[in-house]
Chains A and B, each alone.
Chain A
Amino acid sequence: MVKPVPQTVEATLELLAKGNYVADRSLATALLLALKMGRPLFLEGEAGTGKTEIGKVLSETLGRKLIRLQCYEGLDVSSAVYEWNYSSQMIEIRIAEASGKHNRDELEQGVFSERFLIKRPILQALEPDINGPPVLLIDELDRTDEPFEAFLLEILSDFQVTIPEIGTIKAKEPPIVVITSNRTREIHDAIKRRCFYFWVDYPDAKRELEILKVRAPEAAEGLAKQVVAFVQKLRGEDLFKLPGVAETIDWTNALIQLDKLDLDPQTINSTLGILLKYQDDIEKIQGSEAARLLQQVKTELAAGG
Chain B
Amino acid sequence: MAVTVVAGGNGAENEPAQSKLVVNLMHFARALRVAGLPIGPGKVLDGVNAIRAVGVGNRTDFYWALHAVFVNRHDQHEVFDQAFHIFWRDPKILERLMGMSMPDLEPGMAPPEEPPMRRVQDAFRPEADEEREGEGEGGDKDEEEEEPEYDAVMTASSRELLNAMDFDEMTAEEVARAKAAIAKLRLPIPEVKQRRYRPALRRARIDMRATLRSALRSGAATIPLKWRRHSHRPPPLVILCDISGSMSRYSRMLLHFLHAVSNDRSRVHVFLFGTRLTNITRHLRERDIDMAMAKCAEAAEDWSGGTRIGATLHEFNAFWGRRVLGQGAVVLLISDGLDRDAGRGLQIEMERLHKSCRRLIWLNPLLRFEGFQPKSQGIQAILPYVDEFRPVHNLESLEQLIAALMRPAGRRLEGASEWLKQM
Partner of A93, one of B215, B317, B322, B327: B215
B266 at the interface (CB under 8 A from A): yes
Report the count of interface residues on A (CB-CB < 8 A): 28
Interface string of A188-228 (1 = CB under 8 A from B): 00000000000000000000000000000000000000000
Partner of A240, one of B195, B318, B323: B318
Closest B residue to A89 by CB, please name it: B212
Q: Is the CB of B208 within 8 A of A84?
A: yes
Distance in angstroms from A91 CB to nearest chain B CB is 12
A173 at the interface (CB under 8 A from B): no
Given A73-B194, A74-B196, A104-B219 in contact, is the A111-B212 Cβ separation under 8 Å? yes
Distance, CA A182 to CA B208, complexed state (A): 35
B216 at the interface (CB under 8 A from A): yes
A-chain residues with CB within 8 Å of residue B139 when the two chains form the complex: none
Q: Is the CB of A76 within 8 A of B318?
A: no
Q: Is the CB of A73 within 8 A of B216?
A: no
Partner of B216, one of A111, A147, A183, A240: A111
Q: Is the CB of B323 within 8 A of A73?
A: no
Query: How many Cβ-Cβ contacts under 8 Å join chain A to chain B?
Result: 53
Distance, CA A2 to CA B266, complexed state (A): 45
Q: Is the CB of A86 within 8 A of B208?
A: yes
B291 at the interface (CB under 8 A from A): no
B-chain residues with CB within 8 Å of residue A142 when the two chains form the complex: 326
Interface bracket on B: 20 to 34
B-chain residues with CB within 8 Å of residue A183 when the two chains form the complex: 322-323
Per DSSP, chain B at the interface is: helix
A-chain residues with CB within 8 Å of residue B323 when the two chains form the complex: 183-186
Q: Is the CB of B208 within 8 A of A107?
A: no
A238 at the interface (CB under 8 A from B): yes
Distance in angstroms from B231 CB to nearest chain A CB is 9
Given A104-B219, A185-B323, A185-B324 in contact, is the A280-B194 Cβ separation under 8 Å? no
Interface string of B309-348 (1 = CB under 8 A from A): 0000000011000111011000000000000000000001
Interface string of A260-280 (1 = CB under 8 A from B): 000000000000000000001
B209 at the interface (CB under 8 A from A): yes
Query: Which residues of B are interface residues toward A (Cβ below 8 A)?
Result: 194-197, 208-209, 212, 215-216, 219, 236, 266, 317-318, 322-324, 326-327, 348, 352
In the assembled complex, 24 residue pairs joining A and B whose CB atoms fall closer than 8 Å, in A order, are: A73-B194, A73-B327, A74-B196, A76-B195, A76-B196, A78-B209, A84-B208, A84-B209, A86-B209, A86-B212, A89-B212, A104-B216, A108-B216, A111-B216, A142-B326, A145-B194, A147-B196, A182-B322, A183-B322, A183-B323, A185-B236, A186-B323, A240-B317, A241-B322
7 further contact pairs, Cβ within 8 A, besides A182-B322, A185-B324 = A75-B195, A78-B209, A84-B208, A90-B212, A146-B266, A185-B327, A280-B352
